[in-house]
Amino acid sequence: MTIRMPASDQAVLARRDDIVAALRAIVPGEGVIDSAAEMVPYESDGLMAYRQPPMVVVLPGTTEQVSQVLKYCFEQGIKVVPRGSGTSLSGGALPLADGVLLGLGKFKRIREIDFDNRVVVTEPGVTNLAISQAVAHAGFYYAPDPSSQIACSIGGNVAENSGGVHCLKYGMTTNNVLGCEIVLITGEIIKVGGKSAETSGYDLMGIITGSEGLLGVITEVTVRILQKPETARALMVGFAEVEAAGECVARIIGAGIIPGGMEMMDRPAIHAAEAFVHAGYPLDVEALLIIELDGPGIEVDELISRVEAIARGCGSTTLQISTSEVERNLFWAGRKAAFPAVGRISPDYLCMDGTIPRGKLPEALARIRGLSERYGLRVANVFHAGDGNLHPLILYDANKPGEMDKAEAFGADILRVCVELGGVLTGEHGVGVEKRDLMPEMFSEIDLNQQQRLKCAFDAQGLLNPGKVFPTLHRCAELGRVHVHGGKLAFPDLPRF
Amino acid sequence: MTGGHVETSKIRDAGDVEQAVRAAIASEQPLEIVGHGSKRLIGQPMTTNALLDLSELNAVVAYEPNELIITVQAGAPLADVLSLIDSKNQQFAFEPINTSALLGTPDIGTIGGMIGAGLAGPRRIRAGGARDHLLGAHAVSGFGDSFKAGGKVVKNVTGYDLCKLLAGSWGTLAVMTEVTLKVMPRPESERTLLLRGLDDATANRAMTAALGSPFDVSGAAHLPASAFRADISGLADIGPAGQAITLLRLEGITASAVHRAAALAALLAPFGAADTVQDTGSAAIWRSIRDVKPFAAAGALGAWPVWRIVCPPAAGGALGQALSRGTGGDVVYDWGGGLIWAALPPKPDAQAAVVRAQVDAAGGHATLIRASEQVRRNVDVFHPQPGGLARLSERVRHGFDPKNILNRGRMTRGAAT
């Protein structure tokens, strides 16, 4: 573990027994967990290389309890780490030794399904997939589909602004959430937005989404639901060169076609996936595209033929078009199992998550290949090619001394390449602890200070999820100072009329 | 915008903006941020004598059709940018409103104004709003510092999503100097179904059925009989005025639009037989709806104040009907009932008490988009928020502009002093 977390507050740790007792008074029974053995499942999230037992785990069951827990922690100066299902790949829910881990696992009820307004009002612990399942009988679904959708919670999705394969066409979480109830660290309960398309005033829903648990604890979410497309079909297209696959992606978008999903895998990823799920992937290609078109049958048929022509024009070496749901799902099976498939061929792997401009895909891949040779570590690449979101999987063995550090350095270099190519550090997994120290690669101190001033508006003491997202935390009083440079009119060149 | 001497700072780059804001901080002189001034009549009247004029900060920095992004300086004329992206068969999918007819102003405005106002048109129900299309921005805060928000790629969760805040903040948080926007392919073809003679509640149900169908409806509007007059541009050809009309738009490749129009017409048969308008005619209809032509400043209701009400869509019909009956006003529905434009007979408070009580009960919010300066002084132009939310919003504003330099008092009544 190479990342430094905020120093533990010894005074808080010394009061642990009192804190546990106070939390028990708020959340009775099994809602407070303080035995080392029972806290083990909470030591880490989806970023399993990082582990830290919390001081205590509390699992409130009502908004009122969340409010009381937070108010107590605020008054006592105790840090709080919120947690949904704990599937974050960036360490967003990594506990703190002197912090309360606040789990939302008991918030498991869908509160309202409103088909007329096309929304679902739900508690945050409900899984992403459960929302779609709850409305499936009427032909609806919730569009964002992170690959962990069977387990990840909607509250966590909002906190991380989760994406998924279909966000190319249907948007990320932020484009599909209309409102929430959020509890501030002071215990104050705030409702933002609702069933309307827009919130009043500033778009606080927009900044709460993707705030990684640093602004408040979400206790209710209102999401938009959509009618399922009439049909979906997929093409599976192989290319002898990555460049040709990248060109194909650019031409499809350039032709005005926005597929429901457009995924790319490179040779190592194809081979790992094929060995795992036997999806019938071609093994003699350098890049494989899975392109899904959805909508009315007549539209899908037309677009499939247009995409087919584009792919052939780009020199595809293999091309299959799904003729049944079974076949379409088989195309996807390998891609969806890519992470575990890679897990089979390597003791450990790191999953990166940068985004680049689509047109830079071949260049990014070439640079990643070069880094792979330099670090002496294998890499398998899967991409959300349609929106330029890369998931290089770096293969390593944590039992070999120094190899994890090497893998992390490799990963950091990949993200630097992404930024250098005009992209960003994270497309959908979040900054968390994983990319925290890389933030200055993308943002200046002034940029980061402005983001932290937003944090100050929600949590001036910095008690909510400290150690995540920002490499250094400034005191809010310091950030709030206005420095006027050079007196009254130090800008004589400015034209005035 | 009070009388007397107005000092204008012309801006050529972000550095000029930093200097101007720092000067304003030093002299404790609030700044009004303007591009073309097309939306200056919206908001609480401000009491500043200093303009920050961004109209010369107007370059297209980069347009990459294959990346579906465009980067432009904030003062770029919206009309020019729209025609540029149109030349590549692309568009801003959220259909930014042209407020010139509604406000009686000559100009469509700038890109910065489009984002600052965040007013999206009919396709918002399908494609989202301005906030969903702003990928990145460079802006100068009320600290006088230029900062970057977001990025130049469509998928990005690095740090707080400050772009969402900037969109629709009416220039009260920061002065945007450059923005990166998502562009989308323009649909090949469009069809609009017309249903006639429905009352508001029934029309609301028809639109709800359409939007709950799998036919990917990208516009759902309703003009009650009284709001549908013969002289409304874009609507003159669609039938006899004085008869309520419900409009549903389908866009996409031609075969698909035709197919879905037929399927939707069949689904909506219980509401009556539908006529179909295609392509050019359809586009004219939706421009008219988008720009609220029925309430144009030059039209019959030009002197009436106009409210923009956003509410849960299925509640729209009842809310609009109650409002028009209660006040003798007229309403137009968009977003399947989720957006109501209400032109109400003039009163000193623009009927704010009535509007706000009914809108609150329906779970929506109302903005007084058109009214005289005197009326806007009397009422909260933007919807008052509950205490906790209002205080949080004020803390957020303070985090961007602690000295209240930028568009002071535009969004909050009483903040001007």
Q: Does A373 reach chain B within 8 Å, measured CB to CB?
A: no
> Could you tell me which of A274, A292, A284, A290 has the C-alpha nearest to residue A241?
A284
Measure A344 CA to nearest chain B CA, in Å. 29
The domain boundary residue, chosen from A103, A124, A148? A103
Q: Give the pLDDT score at A341.
A: 92
pLDDT at B383 over 50: yes
pLDDT for res A319: 98
Say yes or no to pLDDT of A127 above 60: yes
List A103's β-bridge partners, or say none.
A83
From chain A, pick out residues whose CB is under 8 angstroms from the CB of B211.
118
User: Binning pLDDT at 50, 70 and 90, where does residue B227 land?
Assistant: confident
Residues B178 and B204 in one domain: no
Asked if A117's CB is within 8 angstroms of B213's CB, the reply is: no
A107 in Cβ contact with A182 (< 8 Å):
no
Provide, as residue numbers in chain A, all residues whose Cβ is less than 8 Å from the Cβ of B216.
Answer: 229, 295
First to last CA, chain B: 14
Instruction: Taking the CA atoms of A194, A197, A200 and A205 in sequence, report the sign of the dihedral they define.
Output: positive
Q: Among the three residues B258, B291, B324, which one is the final residue of a domain in this structure? A: B291
Token readout for A180 is 């929430």
> In terms of domains, do A207 and A237 share one?
no
Q: Are residues B200 and B161 in the same domain?
A: no
Q: Which of A75, A103, A131 is the last residue of a domain?
A: A103
A positions 245-284 inside 8 Å of B (CB): 250-251, 253-254, 256-258
Residues 6 or more apart from A283 whose CB is under 8 A from it?
Answer: A270, A271, A274
- Provide the number of structural domains found in chain B: 3
How far is it, in rounded angstroms, from Cα B138 to Cα B162? 11
A358 contact B CB<8A: yes
The mean of the pLDDT values for chain B is 94
Q: Are residues A197 and A215 in the same domain?
A: yes
The pLDDT of residue A453 is 97
Give the mean pLDDT of A461-482.
92
Any domain includes B146 = yes
Cβ–Cβ below 8 Å for A206 and B314: no
Query: What's the mean pLDDT in A264-274?
Result: 95
- A194 contact residues in B (CB cutoff 8 A): 312, 363
The ipTM of this complex is: 0.96
Reduced to 3 states, what is the DSSP secondary structure of residue B263?
A: helix
In a domain, B413, yes or no: no
**The predicted structure's pLDDT at residue A494:** 41
Mean pLDDT of all residues in B238-267: 94
Strand B330-334 to strand A316-321: parallel, antiparallel, or no bridges (unpaired)? unpaired
Look up the CATH number of the domain holding residue B281.
3.30.70.2190
User: Is residue B173 domain-shared with residue B197, that is, in the same domain?
Assistant: no
Structural domain range at position B327: 294-378
Is there a domain that residue B252 lies in?
A: yes
Same domain, B21 and B86: yes
Chain A residues close to B146, C-beta within 8 Å? 446
Which chain B positions have a beta carbon within 8 Å of A429's beta carbon?
157
Q: What is the pTM of this model?
A: 0.96
Q: What is the DSSP letter of B288?
A: H
Measured distance CA(B262)–CA(B283) in Å, rounded: 19
Say which CATH number the domain at A383 has: 3.30.70
Question: Is A217's pLDDT higher than 90?
Answer: yes
DSSP state at residue B87: T
Residue B388 lies in a domain: no
Residue B253, pLDDT > 80, answer yes
Residue B383 DSSP one-character state: P
Residue A352's pLDDT is what? 93
What proportion of chain A, given as a percentage, has pLDDT over 90?
Answer: 89
* Number of domains into which chain A is organized: 5
The answer to whether A90 and A84 have CB atoms below 8 angstroms apart is: no
User: B364 pLDDT band (50/70/90 cuts)?
Assistant: very high
Interatomic CA distance for residues B383 and B415, integer angstroms: 15
Q: Which domain holds residue A451?
A: 446-489
Query: Is the pLDDT at A493 greater than 50, yes or no?
Result: no
* Cβ-defined contact of B252 to A299 (cutoff 8 Å): yes
Q: d(Cα A197, Cα A178) in Å, to the nearest integer? A: 6
Which residues are CB-contacts of A428 (< 8 A; sequence separation ≥ 6)? Answer: A146, A160, A161, A162, A163, A164, A167, A172, A353, A384, A389, B155, B157
* Same domain flag for A209 and A262: no
Indicate which of A200, A231, A496 best probes the interface with B, i.e. most B CBs within 10 Å of its own CB: A200
| Mean pLDDT computed over A38-49 | 93
Asked whether residue B141 falls in the same domain as residue B224, the answer is no
Beta bridge partners of B148: B138
User: Count of residues for chain B?
Assistant: 417
Residues from chain A contacting residue B364 (CB–CB below 8 Å): 196
Is B211 found in the same domain as B123? no
Lowest mean pLDDT segment, chosen from A4-8, A457-461, B209-213 = A4-8
For residue A496, what pLDDT is reported? Answer: 36
Residue B384 in any domain: the answer is: no
B402 part of contact set with chain A, CB < 8 Å: yes
- Is the pLDDT at B2 greater than 60? The verdict is no
Place of tokens 């890679």: A342
What pLDDT score does A388 carry? 93
Same domain, B287 and B322: no
CA–CA distance, A469 with B159 (Å, rounded to integer):
7
Whether residue A230 and residue B214 make contact (CB cut-off 8 A), yes or no, is: yes
Least confident of A92-106, A209-223, B116-130, B224-238: B224-238
Contact (CB<8Å) A228/B144: no
Domain match, B88 and B178 both:
yes
pLDDT interval class at A359 (50, 70, 90): confident
Q: Nearest by CB to A206, which of B161, B260, B411?
A: B161
Q: Are strands B50-53 and B7-10 parallel, antiparallel or unpaired?
A: parallel
Q: Could you tell me if A118 and A220 lie in one domain?
A: yes
The burial class, CB within 10 Å (0-12 / 13-18 / 19+), for A71 is middle
Last residue of a domain, one of B246, B264, B291: B291
Q: How much is the pLDDT for B235?
A: 84
pLDDT tens digits for range B300-339: 999 999 999 999 999 999 999 999 999 999 999 999 999 9
CA nearest B229: which of B246, B245, B206, B249?
A: B245
pLDDT tens per residue, range A89-98: 999 999 999 9
Nearest CB to B148; choose among A443, A457, A491: A443
Q: Are residues B40 and B161 in the same domain?
A: yes
Q: How far apart are CA A76 and CA A12, in angstroms?
A: 8
Q: What is the pLDDT at residue A2?
A: 66
Residues A410, A450 within the same domain: no
**CATH of residue B171:** 3.30.465.10
Chain centroid, CA A103 distance in Å? 18
Question: Using one digit for the tens of pLDDT, what is the confidence trace for B26-78?
Answer: 999 999 999 999 999 999 999 887 999 999 999 999 999 989 999 999 999 99
Whether residues B61 and B201 share a domain: the answer is no
A486 band by pLDDT with thresholds 50, 70 and 90: very low
If you search the block for the tokens 């087919």, which residue do you land on? A308
Residue B405 falls within a domain, yes or no?
no
Q: Is residue A434 part of a domain?
A: no
* pLDDT surpassing 80 at residue B4: no
CATH number of the CATH domain containing A91: 3.30.43.10
**Using alpha carbons only, what angle is made at residue A311 by residues A307 and A315, rounded to the nearest 5 degrees?**
165
Q: Which of B 61-90 lie inside 8 A of A, CB atoms?
A: 64-69, 89-90
Interface test with A, best of B6, B153, B191, B395 (most A CBs within 10 A): B153
Final residue of a structural domain among A169, A201, A227: A227
Scanning B278-307 for CB atoms below 8 A from A yields: none
Secondary structure of B331-354 in HEC code, one letter for each residue = EEEEHHHCEEEEECCCCCCCCHHH
Query: How far, in Å, CA of A348 to CA of A397, rounded?
Result: 5
CATH number, domain at A223? 3.30.465.10
Q: Please, what sign has the CA dihedral across residues B113, B117, B119, B124?
A: positive
Task: CATH number of the domain at B318, please.
Answer: 3.30.70.240
DSSP letter at A351 equals: E
CA distance B230 to chain A (A): 31
Same structural domain, B35 and B114: yes
Please report where in the chains the tokens 């194909």 appear, as a residue: A248
Q: Does one domain contain both B93 and B167?
A: yes
A215 shares a domain with A137: yes
Cβ neighbours of B211 (radius 10 Å): 25
